[in-house]
Amino acid sequence: MLNINLSRKLRHCVIACAAFALLFSGAGFAGPAEDTKDATKLYQQGKLDQALSKVNGALVLQPKDAQGRFLKGLILTELKKSADAIQVFTGLTEDYPELPEPYNNLAVLYASQGNYDKAKAALELAIHTHPSYATAYENLGDIYAQLARRSYDKALQLDKSNLTAQGKLSMVKDIFNLPKVASTETAKSAPVQVAAATKADPKTEPGKPVAVTAAKPANVALSGNASADVKATVEAWARAWAAKDTAGYLGFYAPDFETPGGMARAVWETQRKERIEPKKSISVEVKIIKTSLQGNVATVAFRQIYRADAVKSDNTKTLRLVKTGDRWLINAERSGA
pLDDT attached to residue 73: 92
pLDDT attached to residue 143: 85
Q: Is the pLDDT of residue 254 over 80?
A: yes
Q: What is the mean pLDDT of residues 287-309?
A: 90
Q: Is the pLDDT of residue 19 over 70?
A: no
The lowest-confidence range among 29-33, 179-183, 296-300 is: 179-183
Mean pLDDT of the chain: 75
Q: Is the pLDDT of residue 207 over 70?
A: no
pLDDT digits (tens, 9 = 90+) for 295-304: 899 999 999 9
Q: What is the mean pLDDT of residues 69-88?
A: 91
SS (H, E, C) the chain: CCCCCCCCCCCCHHHHHHHHHHHCCCCCCCCCCHHHHHHHHHHHCCCHHHHHHHHHHHHHHCCCCHHHHHHHHHHHHHCCCHHHHHHHHHHHHHHCCCCCHHHHHHHHHHHHCCCHHHHHHHHHHHHHHCCCCHHHHHHHHHHHHHHHHHHHHHHHHHCCCCHHHHHHHHHHHHHHCCCCCCCCCHHHHCCCCCCCCCCCCCCCCCCCCEECCCCCCCCCCCCCCHHHHHHHHHHHHHHHHHCCCHHHHHCCECCCCCCHHHCCHHHHHHHHHHHHCCCCCEEEEEEEEEEEEECCEEEEEEEEEEEECCEEEEEEEEEEEEEECCEEEEEEEEECC
pLDDT attached to residue 172: 59
pTM of the model as a whole: 0.47
- CB atoms < 10 A from the CB of 182, how many? 9
Higher pLDDT, 205 or 295: 295
Instruction: Go through the domains of the chain in sequence order and give each one's CATH number.
Output: 1-193 (1.25.40.10), 210-335 (3.10.450.50)
Q: What is the mean pLDDT of residues 307-313?
A: 81
pLDDT digits (tens, 9 = 90+) for 46-60: 888 999 999 999 899
Q: Is the pLDDT of residue 203 over 60?
A: no
Q: Is the pLDDT of residue 37 over 60?
A: yes
